A and B are shown apart, each in its own frame.
Chain A
Amino acid sequence: MSDASSPVPFHSATEEAPVARWLLIGLAFAGLSILVFAPLIAVFVEALADGVAASLKSLASPDAGHAIRLTLTIAAISVPLNAVFGIAAAWFITKFDFRGKAFLITLIDLPFSVSPVVAGLCIVLMFGANSLVGGWLVGHGYPIVFAMPGIILATMFVTFPFVARELIPVMIEQGRAEEEAALTLGASGWRTFWTVTLPNIRWALLYGVLLCNARAMGEFGAVSVVSGKIRGHTATMPTTIEMLYQEYLSVAAFSVAAVLALLALLTLLLKTALEIRHADQLAATHRH
């Protein structure tokens, strides 16, 4: 018999029994290990299969170096542009009421549903040397396809939704009241944007930009169609990896792949570091 003072184990209604809890956690870990960690480790193991020196030597080749520089340049141009377009689109959609809003939202999502290869082909059709616009541009010395502008266009098309998709729900949830308050206090629209709107969305924006960046650096399908994969000229990191792999240069292929993976990990690390550093502000913006 237990009396009233004996300890009773308390747990909340949403808490599962220990068995179920460990089973779920284990399942999540197993899934992550098989799908994420193992392939990531395999990339690094393959890259270092012939030792660090061989791996570094393959990275030091002019083509690999050019591919890395090109990919970073593409990301450096397309990500800020997409951030600006994404903010503009999200602002427009959430702060104003107008006809065709649903259509615009669908349009923003289009790059997610269209295969990147198809997107690349569209750009070739629009701006290729045989098209009206492309022919004129090539004639004036500004080729789009098989050149940097085409790669940027393709990358921007594929990564367009990331920023806007990240911002729209946050901006809908926050409503317009704070902006209206700023206006009644005498702030201009521009000042309201910089002092109220932007600080409120900065975490969502950062997250969107990081996702956009990761995808921009990793984009393969659309870029491989429009770039023509000319070594040392229009071959980006992902297309270079594929070409090297097709040529059975597995150490070289996996070395570039490892660099690409490291860049992605760096992005994640940056995000986590920022989150830890600004944890108090993050909490303040969310709990209100």
Chain B
Amino acid sequence: MHIEIDEISKQFGTTAALNPVSLSIPSGALVALLGPSGSGKTTLLRILGGLEFPTSGRVRFDGQDATGLTVQERRAGFVFQSYALFRHMTVFDNIAYGLNARPRASRPTKAEIVRRVTKLLELIQLPDIGPRYPSQLSGGQRQRVALARALAIEPRMLLLDEPFGALDAKVRKELRQGLRDIHDTTGLTTVFVTHDQEEAMQLADLVVVMSMGRIEQIGKPQDIQARPATPFVREFIAA
């Protein structure tokens, strides 16, 4: 799905989290929103997911105005920073949650839900953890379960907030490839937020560098590295 962000701004009280920003994300791209904390990257992601609403500007999905769509109507697979798995449910129930939440008319049958959850568990290469609780999983496993749960709703796009933030270096590298693979198999337009420039450069097709609620530069990783547009970008990617 093609996502278009048109002059989006966001005020929290008197502070501006986002100055008007515009960005066009081609269908099927893997995009990184890169910047230090307070740069507005998470706010932008939450606006795409419908968890936050912009003060001004429009969002368009495939040319259709989506600014007023509720979080449920957006059908965005969202992976939260600390994964936000439902702690009182098993991994199976976590992944099945979105399917069970559908209105009766469009809800898959029990057998179909089992089939889909099983398939997703295979996709994240953890076929046997269905009966476990989130507290019994490692950080990396939790992240993959969160990804499977987001994919279960057959989302129109995938949004990830610091998906590798809470993991150690080795697991992080493995999961980076995992995300790349899942993106390539599903073909979903994917946006992830990160403060790690190496992660953004290695993983993304398109990198959006942000600072202080503004977009500093948009480009392919190699272009940004070769020709940083502003002193901030030069400094940030050198760090």
The winner among A186, A200, A285 for most chain B CB atoms within 10 A is: A186
| Given known A182-B97, A284-B133, A288-B135, contact A187–B84 (CB-CB < 8 A) | no
Binds B, one of A4-12, A48-56, A126-134, A173-181: A173-181
Q: Contact at B88–A186, with CB atoms within 8 Å?
A: no
The 0/1 profile, CB within 8 Å of B marked 1, for residues 186-200 of chain A is 111001000110011
* CB neighbours of A284 from chain B (8 A): 87-88, 133-136
Instruction: Pick from B73-81, B167-175, B200-208 the stretch touching chain A.
Output: B73-81
Query: B221 an interface residue at 8 Å Cβ cutoff?
Result: no
Note all chain A residues with C-beta closer than 8 A to B98: 185-187
CB closest chain-A residue, reference B106? A186
A200 CB contacts on chain B under 8 angstroms: 87-88
Report whether A184 and B82 are in contact in the complex, using a CB–CB cutoff of 8 Å.
Answer: no
Contact in complex: B87, A288 (CB < 8 Å)? yes
A185 touches B153 (CB 8 A): yes
Answer whether A186 and B133 are a contact pair too, CB < 8 Å, given A181-B80, A181-B86, A284-B88.
no
By a CB distance below 8 angstroms, the chain B residues around A185 are 97-98, 101, 149-150, 152-153
Q: Which residues of B contact A184 (CB under 8 A)?
A: 49-51, 71-72, 74, 76-78, 150
Instruction: Determine whether the beta carbon of B101 is less than 8 Å from that of A191.
Output: yes
A181 CA to B82 CA in the complex, in Å? 11
Contact B134 A183 (CB under 8 A): no
Known contacts A185-B97, A186-B102, A200-B88: does B80 contact A177 (CB below 8 Å)? yes
Q: Determine whether A106 belongs to the interface, using a CB cutoff of 8 Å to chain B.
A: no
A181, B133: Cβ atoms closer than 8 Å = no
With beta carbons under 8 angstroms apart, the residue of B72, B76, B88, B150 that contacts A285 is B88
Within the complex, what minimum Cβ distance (angstroms) separates B138 from chain A? 13
Residues of chain A with a CB closer than 8 A to B72's CB = 183-184, 186-188
Residues of B within 8 A of A180 (CB): 51, 71, 78, 80, 84
Which residue of B has the minimal Cβ distance to A177?
A: B84
In the complex, per-residue mask of A113-149: 1 if CB is within 8 Å of any chain B CB, else 0: 0000000000000000000000000000000000000
CB-contacts of B112-144 with A (<8 A) = 133-136
Report the Cα distance A195→B150, complex, angstroms: 17
- B87 CB contact (under 8 Å) in A178, A182, A187, A188: A178
Contacting pair A181 B84 (CB below 8 A): yes
What residues of B have a CB within 8 angstroms of the CB of A288 in the complex?
A: 85, 87, 134-135
Q: Does A281 contact B (CB under 8 A)?
A: yes
Q: Which residues on A are within 8 Å of B, measured CB to CB?
A: 177-178, 180-188, 191, 195-196, 199-200, 281, 283-285, 287-288
**Besides A180-B51, A200-B88, A288-B87, 12 other A-B contacts (C-beta < 8 A):** A177-B81, A178-B85, A181-B84, A184-B50, A184-B51, A184-B72, A184-B78, A187-B97, A187-B101, A283-B135, A285-B88, A288-B134
Chain B residues engaging chain A, CB cutoff 8 angstroms: 49-51, 71-72, 74-78, 80-82, 84-88, 97-98, 101-102, 133-136, 149-150, 152-153
10 contacts between A and B (CB under 8 A): A180-B84, A181-B86, A184-B76, A184-B150, A185-B101, A187-B98, A281-B88, A284-B133, A285-B88, A288-B135
Query: Which 10 residue pairs spanning A and B have beta carbons closest together?
Result: A185-B98, A177-B84, A184-B78, A187-B101, A181-B84, A288-B87, A287-B135, A199-B88, A284-B133, A288-B135
